Amino acid sequence: MGNNVAVVTFPGSNCDHDTVWALQELGAEVVMVRHDARELPRCDRVVLPGGFSYGDYLRAGALAAHAPIMDAVGRAVARDAVSVLGICNGFQILCERGILPGTLWSNTSGEFLCRWEWVEVATSPPGWPAFVPGMRFRLPIAHAQGAFRVHEGGAAQIWAEGGAFLRYVDPVRNAATGYSPNGSVQGIAGICRGRVIGLMPHPERAMSPVFGSEDGRRFLHLWLGGPS
Amino acid sequence: MTAADVGLTRAEAMTVRALVGREPTDLEWGLFGVLWSEHCSYKSSRNRLRWLPKDGAAVVAGPGGNAGVVRLDAAVEVAFKVESHNHPSFVEPVQGAATGVGGIIRDVVAMGARPVALMDSLRFGPQAAALREGVVRGIGGYGNAIGVPTVGGEVFYGPGYAKNPLVNVLCVGIRRPGREIGARGAKPGEEVYLIGQPTGRDGIHGASLLASRDFSQADRDMRPTVQVGDPYTGKLLMEATLAAVAAGGVSAVQDLGAAGLASATAELAVSSGVGIALDLDRVPCREAQMSAYEIMLSETQERMLLVLAADGGEDALDAIRAWGLVPTKIGVTTADGQYVLTFRGQRVAVLEASWLVDGCPLKPAPSPRVAPPLPARTTGSVRVSIASQELLAMLADPDLRDRQPIYRRYDSMIQTRTVWGPEHEVAVLCLKESTLGLAIAVAGPGRWAAVDAYSGGAAAVALAVSRLAVQAAEPLGLTDGLNAGNPDQPETLAAFDQMILGIRDAALALEVPVTGGNVSFHNETDAVSIWPTPVIGAVGRHPRPERPWADAVTRVGRWIVLINAPQKPTLAGSVWEQRTGQLTAYPRVDLERLARTVHWLRQALLTDALGIEAVRTVADGGLWLALIKLLGLDGPGNLGIAVTLSAEALAEQLLNEAAGQFVLSIDDRGWPEVSAQLTARAIDHRVLGQTVAEDGLTVRVGSGSGASHWHWPRTELAAAWRLWEDK
């Protein structure tokens, strides 16, 4: 798989340029795509970046899920033609679209939360053996609605299907399970289904120790198919 | 309609009639009312603001525009300004604060700059948790959504702010040289476009009535004059405006804020030296049957005025449409300086634009422009003793405690420039456009200006510039947010004058221009005024933003050094004094010595051989809090600080807040040279102790048989500072 990446800009996306920059730092060929495009450009991968698409009015990601470009993304996913990464608002959009299971609710604090967290690979996503279970990343979160929720029994199903990709961990207290900064069920920070991955933390903000961590660089490098 | 209905005095109304030469129409009275309001005209402050130095080597655009602009290097210019949204935030905290953020962001965008950082300076009364929560939610809700990081700020409390909270917001933006835009570039015969939200009936008379007079009990009635912010449209407007400017063909940009279309069009006309003719039937309105008066005075948020060349503006219009906004041509610029409004086929206002913007009679400035004498001290000689428990209790004081519960609710990292965010006393941003970075600081506790406004004004500048100096950052410019009570009270105005003179003297001594700012008067309710409160924002050129100098110790065996400790330390103006009694006059800063110190510090930090490991200022909470922060509460358990202080005036040594002091940790090999350099520059310096292998902070007091000894592990300090109960 090549590294032509399409980054989608919805009105209200605000991490699109950060994401483009991060991917270019890693050598990807990046093209920016508008929300109202009816087709994806020729690409191997799609990133739905963070932000407040359409103001996050109604619910976070709910309106963007019905943007024209999401029809194209949905078709490409159905054909297994692209890998998709949804970051923060992008994750919310994928859930609202039904491409990923579950939904993202308001943080239990009721407030926006911006801080550093540790996440751990719980299950390798299919196609990414380089994300080894137990591998940890220190990444920032910045969201008001990041509590991952599923219907009763849904979490067990996600685990059974191998979709429980990332969970929050607290290395200081060494609590491997159950920790969550925002109220996510079973501490889930990111999930996958097929070649579609969604996560709440922002790897594009952790590209260098200058910004507090370069674990995001490592994360995106692996997502782009780089060796571990 | 009468002149009083629109907030004009009888004398001002007479001036209006003399200028116009006839009885103005209701609409014209309304225009004079808002544009001659304190908020728009600066009639009480304009002559006084001239005292401030505005020129400097880095200045690209000084005061008077939407924001000041300074040059970072050949590739980057920096637009920045502080603005207040005090009155609306009291009436409706969430929306008042949110629209304050939106407003200052638009100011920076109107200079063609992309906003890259916000800071907030907030003041509340005691027991103001509900109000504070609303303000924090408003700031976060707007800033987070529009995608501009909040990289720092300050929060302080005082009784005078109980019914007059302050919400001052600093916005910093960057642009490429050659992207100059602003309100000054319109030429006759060009087209005037309005973009953004349709105009509604919200916020009418917000500037003239809400922000330009004192509060009284009845002012919850003013809630309808607060506007509602929509960060989503704000984001589209920001991107559309910047895209239009980049596309070319845009002659001038002016944001719509206080006094809406009236102020924006009149100020743009006068700034550019053109006339303007508007057809109000073209203004897109949210509601039917809006009158010309409502259209002109509405303060609906998220609107921008653009002037496009008569031919060649198509690319700009396309760029705007690409962001989903509909640009609407509402008028033209003319050569005659006239301000002409047409509505339903009638000319409803025919004035000179300059009457509206420059016609208001200004308060004359007083002539003695020297520093006032020191006020008499009243409690300077009180004997103070202090115990360990009191020191710990101070850490939970509302003015000193950890701000993380507030700052974690703001996105401080978006745009991936934030190297240092709100957990530090100065923000550090690296830029993809330059190897140089930005250091940004804000300072100005009202406590320091409460009794001696001159001293407080000077100290606010001193602290802001000192905060840049700990990052070896050269100050490029200052912005001043001046908050005060009713300017018609002689004492209030006199204190305001002294505050400006203090800022002037410090800015001159430290060689930093003031490139713009904001004045907010009438922060007074039921005859209780705030302390005069100077909020100083400083922007500096950071020499190596990817490697900031540490502000906490990292190694055992370093000297802990205090620079510029006062000869006779006093608790005047300090948090300790506020907690225990009446505030007295904060000490005057030795500005010449501080200028020598910051010059030295900038050089010394760049000289690796001097071995300066960490440095920070001494400010609120004095040496006590500075040592705790220098220790670093998240630092390793095998590292601590141990200092020795004399038993005499111990509380004053630990808790005085005199500006211009720094604490440093310095390695053994550099210390002799550092000491020699400081001695040669007559900068006071003393070794307080050193870093040790034991966790926490140790303070030894005195020597010999009377010596005593305090020790606090990090956990104890952190528990006191971080785990506060909200009231």
pLDDT digit string (tens) for B238-277?
A: 999 999 999 999 999 999 988 899 999 999 999 999 999 9
Q: Does residue B39 have an active-site annotation? A: yes
Number of domains in chain B: 2
Residue-wise pLDDT for B99-129, tens only, equals 999 999 999 999 999 999 999 999 999 988 8
- Would you state the pLDDT for residue B225? 59
Residue of B nearest to A17 (CA): B415
Last residue of a domain, one of B308, B326, B358: B358
How distant, in Å, are the alpha carbons of A171, B305, B510, B727 from that of B329? Answer: 59, 10, 47, 51
- pLDDT tens per residue across span A28-87: 999 999 999 999 999 999 999 999 999 999 899 999 999 999 999 999 999 999 999 999
Q: In what order do the strands lie in the sheet with A29-34?
A: A29-34, A4-9, A45-48, A83-87, A196-199, A188-193, A164-169, A113-121, A136-143
Q: How far apart are CA B10 and CA B24, in angstroms?
A: 14
Q: Are B184 and B475 in contact (CB under 8 A)?
A: no
Q: Would you call A55 an interface residue with chain B, using a CB distance cutoff of 8 Å?
A: yes
pLDDT at position A177 over 70: no
Residue A164 has pLDDT above 90, yes or no: yes
| Whether pLDDT at B220 is above 70 | no
- The answer on pLDDT for B205 being more than 70 is no
Which residue reads 């105005």 in tokens? B493
pLDDT at site B379: 52
Q: Residue A51 falls within a domain, yes or no?
A: yes
**Within a domain: B203:** yes
* Confidence (pTM): 0.96
Active site residue A192: no
> Tokens 């640009």 sit at which residue?
B327
* Residue B178 burial (C-beta neighbours within 10 Å; 0-12, 13-18, 19+): exposed
Q: How confident is the model at residue B700 (pLDDT cuts 50, 70, 90)?
A: very high
Confidence band (pLDDT; 50, 70, 90) for B385?
A: confident
Give yes or no for A226 touching B (CB within 8 A): no
Using pLDDT thresholds of 50, 70 and 90, give the confidence band for residue A172: confident
Q: Is B43 left (phi over 0), alpha (psi -120 to 50) or beta?
A: alpha
Task: Tell me which residue in B233, B412, B415 faces A114 most closely, judged by beta carbons.
Answer: B412
d(CA B314, CA B477): 36
Taking the Cβ of residue A15 and every Cβ of chain B, the question of whether any pair is shorter than 8 Å is answered with: yes
What local confidence, expressed as pLDDT, does residue B473 receive?
98
Q: Is residue B21 part of a domain?
A: no
pLDDT score, position B372: 85
Is the pLDDT score of B663 beyond 60?
yes
Residue among A58, A44, A56 nearest A10 (CA) = A56
Yes or no, beta carbons of A113 and B409 under 8 Å apart: yes
The predicted structure's pLDDT at residue B65: 87
- Classify residue A228: in a domain, yes or no: no
Show the domain range for A105. Answer: 4-223
**Residue B221 banded pLDDT, cuts 50, 70, 90:** low
Q: What is the pLDDT of residue A51?
A: 97
Tell me the angle at which helices B671-680 and B591-606 cross, rounded to the nearest 10 degrees: 150
Closest CA to A6 of A50, A37, A43, A34: A43
Mean pLDDT for A207-224 is 97
Is residue A7 within 8 A of residue A32, CB to CB? The reply is: yes
Torsion sign across C-alpha atoms B600, B606, B612, B613:
positive
B134 falls within a domain: yes
pLDDT at A174 over 90: no
CATH number, domain of A65, equals: 3.40.50.880
CATH code, domain carrying B621: 3.90.650.10
In sequence order, the β-bridge partners of residue B255 are B304
pLDDT digits (tens, 9 = 90+) for B501-549: 999 999 999 999 999 999 999 999 988 899 999 999 999 999 999 999 9
Question: Tokens 């941003």 label which residue?
Answer: B429
B494 in helix, strand or coil?
Answer: helix
Examine the pLDDT at B649 and tell me if it is beyond 70: yes
**For A9, nearest residue in chain B (alpha carbons):** B323
Chain A contact set for B432 (CB, 8 A):
21
Is A187 part of a structural domain of the chain?
yes
In the predicted model, what is the mean pLDDT of residues B559-570?
A: 96
Which residue does chain B place closest to A112, by CA atoms? Answer: B409
pLDDT score at A227: 87
Contact B415 A17 (CB under 8 A): yes
Asked if A57's CB is within 8 angstroms of B144's CB, the reply is no
Q: Which residues are registered as beta bridge partners of A121?
A: A166
pLDDT for B660 equals: 96
Last residue of a domain, one of B358, B386, B404: B358
Could you read off the pLDDT of B423-478 as tens digits, one per residue? 999 999 999 999 999 999 999 888 999 999 999 999 999 999 999 999 999 999 99
Residue B380 has pLDDT above 60, yes or no: no
Contact B102, B142 (CB under 8 A): yes
In a domain, residue B369? The reply is no
Name chain A contacts of B147, Cβ cutoff 8 Å.
14-15, 51-52
CATH of the domain at B241: 3.30.1330.10
Q: Are B663 and B561 in contact (CB under 8 A)?
A: yes
Q: Please name the helix (run of DSSP H) or strand (run of DSSP E) that holds residue B173, with its range, or none.
A: strand B166-175
Domain boundary among B358, B387, B406: B358
Residue range B331-343: mean pLDDT, rounded: 96
Judged by a CB distance cut-off of 8 A, whether residue B323 touches chain A is yes
Residues within 8 A of A (CB atoms), B 412-431 only:
412-416, 418-419, 430
Position B383 pLDDT exceeds 70: no
Q: Taking CB atoms and an 8 Å cutoff, what residues of chain B touch A57?
A: 232
Residues in chain B with CB shorter than 8 Å from the CB of A140 are 413
Q: Which domain holds residue B699?
A: 550-727
**Strand A4-9 to strand A45-48: parallel, antiparallel, or no bridges (unpaired)?**
parallel
Counting the structural domains of chain A, the total is: 1
Which of A12, A52, A114 is nearest residue B413 as measured by Cβ atoms?
A: A114
- DSSP string for residues in B695-709: SEEEEEES-GGG-EE
Res B587 pLDDT > 80: yes
Distance CA A101, CA A194 (A): 12
pLDDT-derived band at B374, boundaries 50, 70, 90: confident
**Confidence band of B7 (pLDDT split at 50, 70, 90):** confident
Closest CA–CA distance from residue B241 to any residue of chain A (Å): 14
Residue A223, CA atoms < 13 Å, CB-side half-sphere: 32
A143 is catalytic: no
Contacts of B413 in chain A (CB under 8 A): 114, 140, 142, 202, 205, 211-212
Q: What is d(CA B592, CA A97) in angstroms, rounded to the nearest whole number?
A: 64
Q: In this complex, is the C-beta atom of B140 within 8 Å of any C-beta atom belonging to chain A?
A: yes
For residue B628, tell me if it sits in a domain: yes
Is residue B403, in this structure, part of any structural domain at all? no
Backbone φ and ψ of A16, nearest 5°: -65, -45
**Rounded CA separation B115/B102 (Å):** 11
**A51 to chain B: closest CA residue:** B145
Are residues B22 and B9 in contact, defined by beta-carbon separation less than 8 angstroms?
no
The answer to whether the CB atoms of A22 and B416 lie below 8 A apart is yes
Query: Which of the residues B85, B87, B205, B424 is marked catalytic?
Result: B85
Closest CB to B409 among A112, A205, A211 = A112
Question: Does position B382 have pLDDT exceeding 80, yes or no?
Answer: no
B49-75 pLDDT tens trace: 999 999 999 999 999 889 999 999 999
| pLDDT above 70: residue B215 | no
Confidence of residue B281 (pLDDT cuts 50, 70, 90): very high
Which chain A residues have a beta carbon less than 8 Å from that of B232? 11-12, 52, 54-57
Those of residues 507-546 in B touching chain A at CB distance below 8 A are 546
> What is chain B's mean pLDDT, rounded?
93
Q: Does A2 touch chain B (CB under 8 A)?
A: no
How far is it, in rounded angstroms, from Cα B108 to Cα B131? 27
CB pairs under 8 A between A and B: 81
In this prediction, residue B445 carries a pLDDT of 83
Distance CA B23, CA B389 (A): 70
Give the residue, B362 or A1, on which the prediction is more confident.
Answer: B362
Q: Assess contact for B560 and B687: CB atoms under 8 A.
A: yes
